[in-house]
Structure 1
């Protein structure tokens, strides 16, 4: 694989080659044409001299031919009346290049009208050997100069290309030999591409580090979560196994067997609720990485939660004190789990017989409150109850300790917070705040 420096040098050499090749071809043609024009000038001069005294020119043709400088043939009416040693063939007026024997000639033929006699055709030729030699020599010099120019351009491309790509080389060195998060400040200063690449690498490394931190945090949370969940599930499972072994090993009266079975069912129900809560917490963690907020009517959601809770707790009066609509931007399933867990917590652990759900606008937030008339939550436990697997002093034995952790998780996902205070109904008040920024295009609730 070629380095960038080599590519720059080759590109420079290729560009120089194209330009030099065009110049060499043009200059070579111009040199050849110029030498031919020089021969034509000599022919024109000689023709003019012959025309001055065409009748006496024949006396000297032999000597001229023997000298080899020119070849001349005079014709009158197509008949040769005089010629040098080398006789030229009949040709039409004009210039041409002819090969006679082993010699190439540049020939000019011209017909003149004399005062005495008929038209006289003069054919004059000069050998092209000397001009060809000069042409080849000049063309070779031009070609040699062009090759030298291409090689020089390639060498300069290599030298200057090294300086041009130096910022990229330095950037590569810093990344390959530096720490996992190298300091790229100032790298590529003065070179736009290097600066852009440095900024892109910094941004990429930042995203990678952020993703690694998230992955590490998620793994640490998963380890802690799995360890705590295993501990929390081990106790009821051990108790269930003990009850089942007692039933298998002892011939118990029917009343005791029913009591043990009821205890196993209660523990099984607790395990099922714990697993459900764990599943909801895991779903919340997934939603944290891929939020899917939509516009939903919070009051309609509260009405649905109240109706469902009334079926499960027929002795409890559950009311919604705010009229719809109240559109919010959030996770519908998450907000529903907040309402369900708040009601369940009030009834199961607070022994409430009345629950009131209200909501109101407050600055850039919507404040959702769930009041009950139960036993309430001691002041020193109002923050602790949001921890995972924490059970308050008033908690029911079959609780999982995860319901309020789900509420805290959803508050975080909705850029809000959740906390407990005393309720005017005599029990506890759960306050859940969530962000109220709804884009204008999503004003209509789903």
Structure 2
């Protein structure tokens, strides 16, 4: 059932009930009270008007003048008009006009109008004492009580007729108003009925109608469709990342797995292999195994960075993240000299695991490739504020990075000739710098010795990059203007 029809039926049923309730609960007592008030005023006026005739009647009757009494009695009834009159004297009672029978008991006195009922009839009655005559008496005036009969029955009939007429009229009026009011809602329904976000890129375009509920519903629908598009894009991105992960893993794992297979075949086919050769084969196996584990970990981290959502971002203290990374590096390589100089209170709006991964890989890269000629590792980590940015520096005392190589080594799977790493360590650094709307560069180290990596992160943060295809593409360094050492 349409909304306008529902409203019309509801109003058509409610309005008559309200009319009846108003008539019975409010109008009926008010009308009855007004009618009684008019009757009582009329009784008082008639009683006051005929009181002198009643006094003269009792005086004539007491004096034994029948003709005078008859004359006064006719004057009394004539002056009473439409009310009944009863004059009660010590020895005689005079009656005239509509009134209850003599057998009906009257109240001892009725100085205010009261109702007397008998045999299905009711009268409003009022009594006045007759004073000033030689013989005392009482004047009673009566009027049929029609307030709860004729007039009230008429009012009831009119209330019922009004309710019966109000039902269809109010229902039709409400249906017409509701039909006009729900017009914008019907138009919105027609526009949204043809939308299929799975098969078309067309989306709801809504012009304000001035109807708050319709405009709010349209805004909600637009929000729902936008969220659908966002989730669909995220799903597509996740699927593409999964495909890229599979392709990259199969491509990069093929060589170490083939090498491990060859070494295993040598061990299986030559059980008499001399001990030095066997040791060399086992060493190769361990190296390839370590490389496989590192590659899988790095691919997983790249996938997480590609799919992280904006809801994961929060305020991160960069100094605390650097302190935790340095402590972990010292634990893993106790012989290395790793120092930290960090200004406190420097925060960015970012993804805490990603920032920690960035610093961890910069330190790991420095430990792997930044050792001096004697094999000693000396790494200096710094965190300081520069205007609207937070600057993270990692210095080493190694051979440095040639200028011609600084534009290449942040690409994925870039490894030096002697590197046993995955070739993804510094790619993760570039990914996280881009994810946080920052940049990473590499230059000569302090005093021209070693290398210095600098990561600049905006304190204000910002939205996520439009493209985060670090597993898919190979041009990440160009997009983030980065330059790197050989990946660890």
Q: Same fold (TM over 0.5)?
A: yes
1:65-97 residue CA offsets vs partner (Å, 9 max, x unmatched):
xxxx765443224x6523459325332124222
Q: Structure 1 pair 333/26, CA: closer, same or farther in 2 (3 Å)?
A: closer
- The answer to whether structure 1 residue 374 and structure 2 residue 405 are counterparts is no
Question: Which residue of structure 1 aligns with residue 89 of structure 2?
Answer: 76
Aligned residues: 423
What residue in structure 1 maps to residue 32 of structure 2? 32
Q: How does 1:270-349 map to 2 (within 5 A)?
A: 270-285=291-306, 288-289=309-310, 290-297=312-319, 300=323, 304=327, 307=330, 311=334, 323-325=341-343, 327-330=345-348, 334-345=354-365, 348=368
Q: Displacement, 1:327?
A: 5.0
Map of 2:123 onto structure 1 = 105
Tell me if the contact between 2:401 and 2:451 (Cα under 8 Å) persists in the aligned partners. yes
Task: Tell me if the contact between 2:440 and 2:455 (Cα under 8 Å) persists in the aligned partners.
Answer: yes
Query: Cα offset for 1:267?
Result: 0.8
Q: Which residue of 2 aligns with 1:265?
A: 286
Alpha-carbon distance in 1 for matches of 2:12, 2:2: 15
User: Does the 8 Å contact 1:352/1:373 carry over to 2?
Assistant: yes
Alpha-carbon distance, 1:147 to partner: 4.8
Q: SS state of the match for residue 125, structure 1? A: strand
The answer to whether the Cα contact below 8 Å between 2:84 and 2:143 also exists between their aligned partners in 1 is: yes
Residue pair 2:395, 2:450 contacting (<8 A) in 1 also: no
- TM-score, structure 1 normalization: 0.76
Q: Is 1:252 matched with 2:272?
A: yes
Q: Which moved more, 1:336-345 or 1:16-25?
A: 16-25
| Contact persistence 1:358–1:370 (CA under 8 A) | yes
CA distance, structure 1, for counterparts of residue 219 and residue 147 of structure 2: 67
* Counterpart contact for 1:233–1:271, Cα < 8 Å: yes
Once the two structures are superposed, what CA deviation does each residue of 1:117-154 show, in whole Å capped at 9, x if it has no partner? Answer: x2222333333459722331133213422553465344
Other structure's SS at 2:94 match: strand
1:176 corresponds to 2:193: yes
Could you state the TM-score of these two structures normalised by the residue count of structure 2? 0.71
The alignment's C-alpha RMSD in Å is: 4.1
Long gaps (5+) in structure 2: 58-68, 462-488
The reply to whether residue 409 of structure 1 matches residue 425 of structure 2 is: no
- 8 A contact 1:299–1:323 mirrored in 2: no
Assess if the C-alpha contact under 8 Å between 1:329 and 1:437 holds in 2. Answer: no
Q: Deviations over 1:268-290 (max 9, x none)?
A: 11112112323433554565541
How far has the Cα of 1:400 moved from its partner?
1.0
SS at match of 1:252: coil
Match of 2:176 among 159, 172, 175: 159
Which of 432, 437, 442 pairs up with 2:455? 432
Question: Residues 372 and 220 (structure 1 numbering): CA distance in 2 closer, same or farther, change over 3 Å?
Answer: farther
Change in CA separation of 1:43 and 1:299 when aligned onto 2, cut-off 3 Å: closer
